[in-house]
Homo-oligomer: A and B are copies of this chain.
Amino acid sequence: MRRVYVSSSGFQNLKTTSEKFGVCKQEMLQKRNAVLVDGVILNGPIMDSKAGEKFVEEACKIIMEDVVQKADDVTEKVCEWQAPEMLKQILDLEMRDTGECHQKILQLCRDVIKYSVKTNHPRFFNQLYAGIDYYSLVARFITEALNPSVYTYEVSPVFLLVEEAVIKKMIEFIGWEEGDGIFNPGGSVSNMYAMNLARYKFCPEIKEKGLSSLPRLVLFASEECHYSMKKAASFLGIGTENVYFIKTDERGKMIPEELEKQVQRTRKEGSAPFLVCATAGTTVLGAFDPLDKIADICEKHGLWLHVDASWGGSALISRKHRRLLHGIHRSNSVAWNPHKMLLAGIQCCALLVKDNSGLLKKCYSAEAAYLFQQDKFYDVSYDTGDKSIQCSRRPDAFKFWLMWKALGTTGLEERVNRALALARYLVEEIKKREGFQLLLEPEYANICFWYIPPSLRKMEDGPEFWQKLHQVAPIIKERMMKKGSMMLGYQPHRGKVNFFRQVVISPQVSREDMDFLLDEIELLAKDL
């Protein structure tokens, strides 16, 4: 039975909210039992849900047509570039006292979509995520409609059980016999969780006492690690100077001997090493640290081993490629983002922990009595929210779960295998083409290369050449964005001038897109 709203007036042509949602005071007051408090009529809801539903339906149609159905269409633009000041003029950003009618809001939705980058587009290669997964998308629509928060079983029964099941399965793929975990908003946050957990394990009283008057804590990560290590060290009060960066080899992998040296140096300094953060799939080069050898050193020195596999973790799903993470089962914690290679949708990030003695809970709990009552009528061990640094938390495991149910492990594996096969293909094509130069043989789906335009091809190697080459990628990037044909990242990196980083992910992507990428760069840069 749906409730009848106090509205006789039409909807479309009215402007103020109270009119829009049909509250007619006169009419209300004539009704029996009309209750007025502080000038507000309290009878009946003030929302016309029929009109609201109609609005949602119309908007869904736009979303289907303008986003979902265009996601695989390579003739659509990846982006509709507008400079910030111009875009501000196009979009009517100002929020006013009076609301806008539905037609205006629907037009606004169309504009938002039009000027947003189509990260679903087969030629969006700009970040470590891309593409569209229809199952994950549906799970995310369900999440938004149900608007849950995952902390107690009473409020999120399904989502808590789903998270438990997904974590269990991910742990299986890492190769631990047991473990624990929590989904959280991003690989950066996962790394923070791990850093704090390792610190807590090292010295539990830090939770109450803090770091002051303690020896200087030191952690290790490779020179190629994600910048979140520095952010985490700063946020957690450890300090960025106490992240000791370990040298890498020419492929960007941590050199274990260098790690050993640094650990010994730390001991001599009288500071307290407590953690090694290895990376499985670095952000720029896609390098995998040698986990097995690093684990040896961690074991020898009693250090927590955290593996930032935010990007590379999904290779665990592939029987063919999981060797990239050989030794990961020896780690104490792992960050793994299924929203990247596996397309689970931003954000879908798990921190997984080998410990199964409740360390996560001990480290993070604050035991809020208003939320985690101990006299509930069900088994409160299902109220897992106190393992989190957040209070309200989104059910990010759910979208990965629904996707996994639909595709099966085999389907996920196929995505990884195909992305890496496409990456191989691209590498071979780059080698064949004049003007393209690989930075290094990739191990994963990051293909880093320079494009040397015609005018530079005969130039002598030297500072001037590199200086000029440094300016090439930004120009090509500007042109591709203004044209909207594709999006591809570039960066300078550790002494190397600007080069492109191509990331291969989406199952919407094919060989044709790889060819297009190279053709398009040639085309955009032909006059350079």
Q: Are B59 and A141 in contact (CB under 8 A)?
A: yes
Chain B residues with CB under 8 Å of A389's CB are 188-189, 192, 231-232, 235
CB of A448, distance to nearest CB on chain B (Å): 10
Q: List 20 A-B contacts (CB under 8 A).
A: A43-B510, A46-B507, A49-B508, A56-B68, A60-B141, A95-B408, A96-B405, A102-B406, A116-B146, A117-B155, A117-B157, A119-B146, A120-B145, A129-B149, A132-B147, A185-B394, A206-B237, A227-B368, A236-B236, A346-B394
Option from B21, B373, B425 in Cβ contact (under 8 Å) with A35: B425
Chain B residues with CB under 8 Å of A227's CB are 366-368, 391
Q: Are B47 and A72 in contact (CB under 8 A)?
A: yes
Tell me the number of copies of this protein: 2
Bound CA span A83–B134, Å? 31
Q: Are A156 and B116 in contact (CB under 8 A)?
A: yes
Q: Are B217 and A233 in contact (CB under 8 A)?
A: no
CB of A143, distance to nearest CB on chain B (Å): 8
Bound CA span A516–B392, Å? 28
Given A40-B418, A230-B366: A157 and B82 within 8 A (CB)?
yes
Closest to A474 in B: B375
Does A287 have its Cβ within 8 Å of any Cβ on chain B? no
Does A245 have its Cβ within 8 Å of any Cβ on chain B? no
- Taken residue by residue from 158 to 180, chain A's Cβ proximity to chain B (1 for < 8 Å, 0 otherwise) reads as 11011001100100000000000
Bound CA span A323–B193, Å? 39
Interface centre among A83, A138, A207, A477 (most CB of B within 10 A): A138
CB of A504, distance to nearest CB on chain B (Å): 10
CB of A120, distance to nearest CB on chain B (Å): 6
Given A146-B113, A153-B84: A42 and B422 within 8 A (CB)?
yes
Does A328 have its Cβ within 8 Å of any Cβ on chain B? no
- Taken residue by residue from 373 to 412, chain A's Cβ proximity to chain B (1 for < 8 Å, 0 otherwise) reads as 1011111001000000111111000100110111111110
Of the listed stretches A246-254, A457-465, A486-494, name the one at the interface; the rest are far from the partner chain: A486-494
Given A142-B109, A391-B187, A408-B17: A46 and B418 within 8 A (CB)?
yes
Q: Are A410 and B98 in contact (CB under 8 A)?
A: yes
Does A307 have its Cβ within 8 Å of any Cβ on chain B? no
Does A32 have its Cβ within 8 Å of any Cβ on chain B? no
Q: Are B59 and A391 in contact (CB under 8 A)?
A: no
Bound CA span A137–B122, Å? 27
Given A115-B157, A134-B52: A231 and B100 within 8 A (CB)?
no
Bound CA span A278–B211, Å? 24
Does A238 have its Cβ within 8 Å of any Cβ on chain B? yes
Given A20-B411, A95-B169: 13 more A-B contacts, CB < 8 Å: A1-B73, A37-B422, A55-B134, A88-B161, A98-B408, A98-B410, A116-B157, A127-B149, A208-B234, A211-B239, A227-B366, A227-B368, A230-B366
CB of A350, distance to nearest CB on chain B (Å): 14
Does A74 have its Cβ within 8 Å of any Cβ on chain B? yes
Closest to A147 in B: B119
Bound CA span A474–B242, Å? 49
Does A7 have its Cβ within 8 Å of any Cβ on chain B? no
Given A67-B146, A392-B346, A408-B96: A373 and B157 within 8 A (CB)?
no
